[in-house]
Amino acid sequence: MTIREASAKWHGTLKEGSGRVKLGSGVFEGAYSFPSRFEHGPGTNPEELIAAAHAGCFSMALSAILGTAHHIPASISTVAKVHLGATAAGPTITRIELETQAEIPGLAPDEFQNLAQRAKTTCLVSRALAGVASITLKAELLATTTTAQ
């Protein structure tokens, strides 16, 4: 079993305090605070980190599904937008929008849509975030050029 970790340290009250998050691999460490999470202050926040994880996971899942279907992507670019809203329970991740663009030579647009939807539902992060009310996907197959030989 693979175990990944990250850590966070917080000082002070919720609104006036601040903290730092650090990935276990050491490739990222950053500040976070009430303004960076609930307003537009400098620093990162847990929702942004969830978005990065979801975009990365989805892109890899789509690549794996494409490979199984014998399609090798030239590129896959994904943006995940995590919406933080207010509910009766308090602040909640209310929605996640995945937007992906891919260049995949020889793949029909309808097959691409089917494979992208399968990647959305099978991606490990999508499954971990199943409690989010809505995870949507906008998938765009970009035109590819073929080289005459």
96 and 83 within one domain: yes
25 and 82 within one domain: no
69 and 27 within one domain: no
What pTM, to 2 d.p., does this model score?
A: 0.90
Q: For the segment 64-106, what is each residue's pLDDT rounded down to a tens digit?
A: 999 999 999 999 999 999 999 988 989 999 999 999 999 999 9
- The pLDDT of residue 145 is 65
Measure the CA–CA gap between 94 and 147, rounded to whole angstroms.
45
Instruction: Answer whether 139's CB lies under 8 Å from 112's CB.
Output: yes
- The pLDDT of residue 143 is 80
Please identify every stretch of the chain with a pLDDT value under 70, giving residue numbers as ranges.
145-149
What CA–CA distances, in Å, run from 142 to 62, 97, 108?
A: 15, 19, 11
57 and 85 within one domain: yes
52 and 22 within one domain: no
40 and 77 within one domain: no
- The pLDDT of residue 132 is 86
Query: How many domains is the chain built from?
Result: 2
Q: Which domain holds residue 26?
A: 1-44
Helices (H), 1-149: 34-38, 46-68, 109-122, 124-128
Measure the CA–CA gap between 85 and 62, rounded to whole angstroms.
28
58 and 118 within one domain: yes
- The pLDDT of residue 147 is 54
- The pLDDT of residue 144 is 72
138 and 77 within one domain: yes
- The pLDDT of residue 134 is 86
